[in-house]
Amino acid sequence: MPATPVLPKLVGERVKRREDPRLIQGRGTFVDDVKIVGMQHIAFKRADIAHGRIVSIDTSAAETMDGVEAVFTGAAIAQQLGPMPIGTPFPSPPHYAVAIDMVRYAGEPVAVVVAADRYIARDAADAIIVTYETLPAVVDPELAMTGKPTVIHPDFPNNLAVALVPSGTGVSADGKTIDDSAVDRAFAEADVVISQRMFNQRLVPNAMETRGVVAHFEPGKGTMTIWSSTQNPHILRSMIAAMTGLGQDQVRAIAPDVGGGFGAKINIYPEEYVAATVSKRLGLPVKWIEDRSEAFVATTHGRDIIGYVDLAAKRDGKVLGLKLKLIADIGAYNMLLTAAIPTLTMLMANATYDIPAIRTTLTEVFTNKTPTDAYRGAGRPEATYFVERAMDMLARELGMDPAEVRRRNFIPSDRFPYQTQMGAVYDSGDYEKALDAALQKCGWEALKKERDAARAQGRLVGLGLAMYVEVCGIGPSASLPTGGWEHSQVTIERDGRISATTGASPHGQGNETTFAQMLADQFGVPMDHITILHGDTAIVKQGIGTFGSRSQAVGGTALHMAGGKVKTKMAKFAAALLEAHEDDIVFENGTISVKGAPARGKAFSEIAAFAYVPVPLPQGLEPGLSDEAFFEPTNNTYPFGCHISMLEIDRETGEPTLLKLVAVDDAGNLINPTIVDGQIHGGLAQGIGQAMIEEAVYNEDGQLLTGSFMDYAIPRAIDFPRFELLSTVTPTPVNPLGAKGVGEAGTLGSTPCIVSAAVDALSEFGVKHIDMMLRPEKLWRIINGGQA
């Protein structure tokens, strides 16, 4: 046997992303690259008012335009398509993909044009004349809760989408009995109570690739293929099948290269249902590509939640109790996960602290705005922001170092698994380790001196520190209506190469790289002999999708398990061929050999070939090398970390500049630290964006004033200092990889640590809290004696 090169172990190494060459050279395949002969193009006529009754829709001019195939009003679409389902167990008003008699947010679809090309479709949409009886709009959730000036859905008085019973300490599991005594006692015994209304503002997700869909119903076969820029093709397949009256076996959903999702591509959208419905009705393939102006109003927004925070503590900094009253502005409708997102804010109210008594309440309110749904972090950054800002206010009130007040309240590392007051069981954690690592990395004491020296020169410099813990690796099936598992199939091909499917559906996470690293190590073969297949329900038999930082923890584990099954079988073939016991078979460096006798080996590809032409077939074995696994974790994972920032505010202009950002993140075991760094960088960019420059602003009429990149800021490289990153490693026991998930982490610690730094910088003006974003004018007003 020829000598083989020694293959390095790849798991844990900084392997370059295999996806990047095609993506950065424009060689990816996105939905808009899909072209089918005879394909028609869809454009939507959308409401230009936020609230009103549709009096009439005149489609006559559009219908007679050359190249227009069909025009559908909401009523026409509703003949085939019922109200859209949601994925949460809350009551929800009927939501038709295309409005029938009322519009409830600016951007809501009111008619559909199908035409020979995009240009004709857009012209025809413009030619549709809709007359409305305009109704008052409401954009302030606290006003909407009074039922004034309008009720958006008649069956939801006072615009209350969800009015949840209190949760937390003293609330029984069924929510039926509520005992407030522990919380009341905490506040009665407190030396200090911090009370603050905080606002976690609305954001527009803005993936680089807008949404898009191609639906191709083939009348001859009775099957539907749907390409979509989605994070979860299997959920899409299920929903499209259910809503078009087809079986799941008759629908194939494909997520090709997807240019970012950030949670906003979990939802199954009106445009996807409409494309499928129209394709089936016309028997033609149809395409719809969202343009950027549409994306601002038609793709779900994120955040938009008010928190009334009360924190009770002793003078030594020990927190006794927390009250968190949440009011979420969910926009005009419930989408797939809309109602569930703020429940994650409640779930994470315990943060990293051993808080003995917590009471949360949650109200979700309809307003005349674009609906909200998941956005990177999805409920957890909001919780982190509220609690960490309150902890910082407590430190300031007590004159205590913000690190110290946190240290005094941490859940100790020997208390895991830790049952929180909110019903979560934190899997593992060592918060003090992350804090100490961050303090050391940034040189906390020296940094404080630097800040003080800058202040002595009249500069407004501040430091901010925040801890976070999030819920990831979602999760057991109890936590998701789709099921909380992931699936993988690993196949050793006849030539010895490996193909592996995953139900995770990466759209920037780099699983083609990390999963190949894992299999390369598992089978002792070169990584470039491995292809990771994803995003096509005809190839990937089952799956849930990519969200909630779950791909590695759940999908990676399914892959590892499927690989293990195939490896066991391959070892049996090898044992037969090498006349050894299967337990003595060793996979390394592209060969399969016998332990202690490396010369007694064969090339990996030879064993693979033998498995497909097994002459003679070893006893008890079927031919072939392919197997699958479903993995459902017993619990979510709870990654954590500590972020520290230094920020300077221009005394004359109020402009904030981020001088330093140190992020220590603990995502458990890391498969690829470079990809982890990339995820942290991206998350930080979005968190810093929220803290400093991003905000969706509506006027009182419900018009989005920040409806383009001219007015809605997307963070750029020049907005950031060089990020200083470090990982601590606290593996999770809930999966064999010990990996927790890292996709959202950067959005959690960054917002409170930056706002706290701004408050610190402006401490000489007596300010206690500043709502995001840190608009220069807002800071300038504080400096000049006004309030935030």
Which stretches of the chain bind other proteins, using CB under 8 A? 118-119, 122-123, 126, 291-294, 652-653, 655, 692-693, 697, 705-706, 708-714, 716, 719, 775-777, 780, 784
The least distance separating other proteins from the CB of residue 228, rounded to whole angstroms, comes to: 20
Cβ 113 to other proteins shortest distance, Å: 12
* Cβ–Cβ under 8 Å, residues 378 and 305: no
Q: Which of 64, 293 has the CB closer to other proteins?
A: 293
Residues with Cβ within 8 Å of residue 710, at least 6 apart in sequence: none
Q: Is the dihedral of CA 223, 228, 234, 240 positive or negative?
A: negative
Select 119 or 222, whichever has its Cβ closest to other proteins: 119
Task: Kindly tell me which of 379 and 689 has the beta carbon lying closer to other proteins.
Answer: 689
Task: Mention every residue, 6+ apart, whose C-beta is less than 8 A from residue 139.
Answer: 50, 367, 368, 369, 698, 699, 700, 702
Q: In what order do the strands lie in the sheet with 68-73?
A: 68-73, 109-115, 40-46, 286-289, 212-218, 223-228, 251-254
Minimum Å gap between C-beta 126 and other proteins is 7
Q: Which is nearer to other proteins, 181 or 708 (CB)?
A: 708
Our CB check for other proteins shows the closer of 125 and 274 to be 125
Q: Which residues contact 35 (CB under 8 A, 6 or more apart)?
A: none
CB of 775 to other proteins, least distance (A): 8
Question: Mapped to the 3 state alphabet, what secondary structure does 490-501 carry?
Answer: EEECCCCCEEEE
Q: How far is the CB of 106 from other proteins (least distance, A)?
A: 15
Q: How far is the CB of 713 from other proteins (least distance, A)?
A: 4
Task: Give the shortest CB-649-to-other proteins separation in angstroms.
Answer: 14
Contact 372, 338 (CB under 8 A): yes
Q: Are 450 and 457 in contact (CB under 8 A)?
A: no
Backbone φ/ψ region at 85: left (φ over 0), alpha (ψ -120 to 50), beta: beta
| 77 within 8 A of 160, measured Cβ to Cβ | no
Supply the minimum distance, in Å, between the C-beta of residue 122 and other proteins: 4
The side-by-side arrangement of strands in the sheet containing 102-103 is: 102-103, 52-58, 129-134
Burial class (CB in 10 A: 0-12, 13-18, 19+), 581: exposed
Shortest distance (Å) from residue 47 CB to other proteins: 17
Judged by DSSP in three states, 319 sits in: strand
- As measured in angstroms, the least distance from the Cβ of 503 to other proteins is 34
Distance between CA atoms of 430 and 435, rounded to whole angstroms? 9
- Cβ proximity to other proteins, 130 vs 240, nearer residue: 130
CB distance 286 to 117 below 8 Å: no
Q: Nearer Cβ to other proteins, position 60 or 293?
A: 293
Considering the complex, state which of residue 183 and residue 460 has its C-beta at the smaller distance from other proteins: 460
Identity of the residue, 543 or 707, whose beta carbon is nearer to other proteins in the bound complex: 707
Q: Which is nearer to other proteins, 131 or 708 (CB)?
A: 708
Smallest distance from other proteins to CB 123, Å: 7
Supply the minimum distance, in Å, between the C-beta of residue 304 and other proteins. Answer: 16
The CB-based long-range contact list for 773-779 (8 Å cut-off, 24+ gap) reads 773/201, 773/690, 773/691, 773/692, 773/693, 773/694, 773/695, 774/656, 774/691, 774/692, 774/693, 775/654, 775/695, 776/650, 776/653, 776/654, 776/655, 776/656, 777/654, 778/654, 779/649, 779/654, 779/655, 779/656
213-240 burial, b if ≥16 CB within 10 A, otherwise e?
Answer: bbbbbeeeeeebbbbbbbbbbbbbbbbb
In three-state secondary structure terms, 446 is helix
Residue pair 687/768 in contact by the 8 Å Cβ criterion: no
Alpha-helical (H) ranges within 338-379 are 341-347
Tell the smallest beta-carbon distance from residue 125 to other proteins (Å): 9
Nearer to other proteins, 477 or 708 (CB): 708
Residue 598 or 715 having the CB closest to other proteins: 715
Question: Which CB atom, from 582 or from 655, has the smaller least distance to other proteins?
Answer: 655
CA proximity to 109, closest of 89, 68, 81, 144 = 81
> In angstroms, what is the minimal distance from the CB of 77 to other proteins?
22
Q: Which amino acid type is present at position 365?
A: V
**Whose Cβ is closer to other proteins: residue 439's or residue 693's?**
693
Judged by beta carbon, residue 31 or residue 335, the one nearer other proteins is: 31
In the complex, minimum distance from the CB of residue 777 to other proteins, in angstroms, rounded to a whole number: 4
Kindly give, in sequence order, each residue whose CB lies less than 8 Å from that of residue 762, ignoring residues fewer than 6 positions away: 460, 462, 649, 770, 779, 782, 783
Instruction: Please identify, using beta-carbon distances, which residue of 674 and 706 lies nearer to other proteins.
Output: 706
Instruction: Tell me if the bond preceding 773 is cis, omega within 30° of 0.
Output: yes
C-beta closer to other proteins: residue 40 or 732: 40
Contact 530, 519 (CB under 8 A): yes
Which contiguous run of DSSP H or E holds residue 531? strand 530-534
Cα distance between residue 677 and residue 772, in whole Å: 25
Q: What is the DSSP string of 36-104?
A: -TT-EEEEEEE-SSSSEEEEEEE-HHHHTSTTEEEEEEHHHHHTT--PPP-SSSS------SS-SSEE-
Q: Which residues pair with 594 in a beta bridge?
A: 585, 597
The nearest distance, CB 496 to other proteins, in angstroms, is 46
Q: Smallest gap, in angstroms, from Cβ of residue 710 to other proteins?
A: 4
